[in-house]
Amino acid sequence: MQEREIDVTVGVGEDGDRLDAIVARHTELSRARVQKLIEAGLVRVEGATATRKSEPLAPGTRVTVRVPSPEPVDLVAEDLPLDVVYEDDALLVVNKAAGMVVHPAPGHRRGTLVNALLHHVRDLAGVGGRLRPGIVHRLDRDTSGLLVVAKNDAAHLGLTEALKRRHVRRLYRAAAWGHLSSSPLTIDASVGRDPRDRKRMRVAEGGRRAVSRARVRERWLAADLLDVALQTGRTHQIRVHLAHVGHPVVGDHVYGPGWERGMGGAAHRWAAELARRTRRQFLHAAELTFDHPVTGERMLFRAALPEDLAGVAAWARSTSGIEGT
C-alpha cells in the first residue's frame, strides 16, 4: 500500500472531543495508531502540525492525516503448510495445525503462523504501520483449530472491537478427565500469572475475569468430550478453568499431568490407554462466528477434529459403548 492522505472534518456532535478520538472515529486507524502519527508530526489541524493528541477540536475544523506506507518487518516469509479455509481482501480464516506457534517470540523466530502468512498473503496492507498480518486472537502452540487474521487496519480494528464486545463466538472441543458434575457448566473465575512460574497461569484473586461455558457432548468411560464456549479469552483459559474444577484437559502436561493415575479398576486401565494415545492436549478450536468487519455479513466456520484427535475420540467412543456423533 502506498503513502496516502486522509481528510477529516469535525462534525457538529464532536465539539470539544479529542483530536486522536475524532481521527480514529472517522478512519480505519486505531486510536493508538493515530497517536503515533501525531507524535511523528504526520497530522495537521487547519494546516498546522498537531502536537497534542488530546487537543479539543471545534465543529468544522479540518484535519489532514498522512499515513506512510507500511514498514517491512524483520521477519522471514516462509513457505509452510497452511490450511486457509476462507480469504478475501480484508481477512482470512486459518485452521491452525497443532505444534505451530502463532506469533514469533524469543526461541520461535521461524516456523510460526505469522511467517507462513507473510509468504501466503499477497495483498497484505499492513497493520499498525507495519507490513504484517493482524493477529486478532491466538491459540496455544499445541491447540489446533480456527483463528481469524486481519490484512489491514480497518479489518483489524473491527475484529478487535468485536472481540472486546464479545461479538465473536469461539467454540472449542476438549476432552476432560472425569465427568462434569453438571452440564452445561459455567466457570467464572479470574485468571492471572502464576508468580512462581511466569509461563503458567492460574485462577487467582486480582487476575482478569474469565468466563467459560462447558457442555458435555459425549460421556466416555472416564472422561468427557466437551464443547467449551469462551465469553472471555485469557491465556490458557480453558485449560486453567477445567483444571480448576477438577477436570483437566486430557493430554495437558502443564495443568493436568498424571491425573489419570488416580483412578482405580477398569477406569484406571482405560484412562492409562487414553493418556497413551493422546500425544498432545486434546483441545481444538472447532467453530468461529463473527460479523465481517467490512460487509457486516455473519460468518460461520467449522473445523472437524484433526486426524490425531479424531482417532483418540473414535477409540474412546468405541470402548465406552457409545455411537459416534
Cell of 51: 502536537
Sign of CA dihedral 232, 242, 283, 252: positive
Q: What Å distances lie between residue 144 and 94, 121, 159, 172, 306, CA to CA?
A: 10, 21, 21, 10, 8
Quick one: which H or E segment has residue 114? helix 113-120
Cell numbers 455411537: residue = 323
Beta strands 84-87 and 91-96, pairing class: antiparallel
State yes or no: is 140 an active-site residue. yes
What phi, psi does 87 have (nearest 5°)? -155, 140
Half-sphere exposure of 118 (CA within 13 A, CB side): 20
Q: What Å distances lie between residue 11 and 23, 26, 61, 81, 172, CA to CA?
A: 11, 10, 8, 48, 44
CA dist., res. 209 & res. 63, Å (int) = 39
Q: Active site residue: 20, 74, 89, 140, which one?
A: 140
CA dist., res. 57 & res. 16, Å (int) = 5
CB 168 within 8 A of CB 162: yes
Beta-ladder partners of 201: 193
Helix segments in 128-280, DSSP class H: 153-164, 237-244, 265-277
C-alpha closest to that of 11 among 57, 51, 70, 75: 57
Any idea which residues carry the catalytic annotation? 140
